[in-house]
Amino acid sequence: MAGILKTVTGKSKIDLSKKTFAIVVAEWNEEITEPLYQGSYQSLIKAGVKSKNIIRKSVPGSFELPLAAQWMVDQKEVDAVICLGCVIQGETAHFDYICQAVAYGIMKVNLKSNKPVAFGVLTTLNKKQAMDRAGGKHGNKGEEAALTVIKMIELQN
Ligand code: RBF
């Protein structure tokens, strides 16, 4: 697990203090998405990103993440976007529709904008699995999403 954490070490070869990041956070399951946000934010700061260059936006649910991400990448100064959400399986087919739409929507924003947009969305069978991945025994996937966009920016430069 956490291959990305192993590979992002030391100083970045690009000056991250000049890069701007948007973090879009879903309000559904906010007890999970808030620690994901904290993980992303702290990882960016640790990597040398200035707090004034981190924009936070909230959306009602994960389904709204792709559109908000598109609005963010449309802003010239934004270099990368981190989408954070948590979809927990319920009794109906909503889970499948939301997960598929969000994953596909975020991928489309990546390719259309040519800017890195991370899919930091937990899709779990229950709340415990989500907590384990939001600062629990399986790490914090918000941190990993932040490190992913940093690596992609490095790759692009
Ligand atoms: N949004 C989430 O981010 N996580 C969820 O687990 C989640 N479950 C939902 C379950 C149902 C039955 C519905 C109707 C919506 C759910 N949403 C969830 C909200 C969804 O992402 C979106 O905000 C709404 O469907 C409005 O477009």
C-alpha 111: how far from chain center: 16
- 97 CA distance to ligand 1 centroid (A)? 10
Domains contained in the chain, CATH given: 28-156 (3.40.50.960)
Q: Report residue 91's pLDDT band, with 50, 70 and 90 as the boundaries.
A: confident
Residue 55's φ and ψ, nearest 5 degrees, are -100, 125
> pTM for this one?
0.94
Residue 27: both structure tokens together: 């309000």
Q: Express each pLDDT in 98-147 by its tens digit.
A: 999 999 999 999 999 999 999 999 999 999 999 999 999 999 999 999 99
Q: Is 124 in the pocket of ligand 1 (CB under 6 A)?
A: no
pLDDT above 80: residue 2: no
Q: Is 105 in the pocket of ligand 1 (CB under 6 A)?
A: no
Q: Is 85 in the pocket of ligand 1 (CB under 6 A)?
A: yes
CA distance 57 to 68: 8
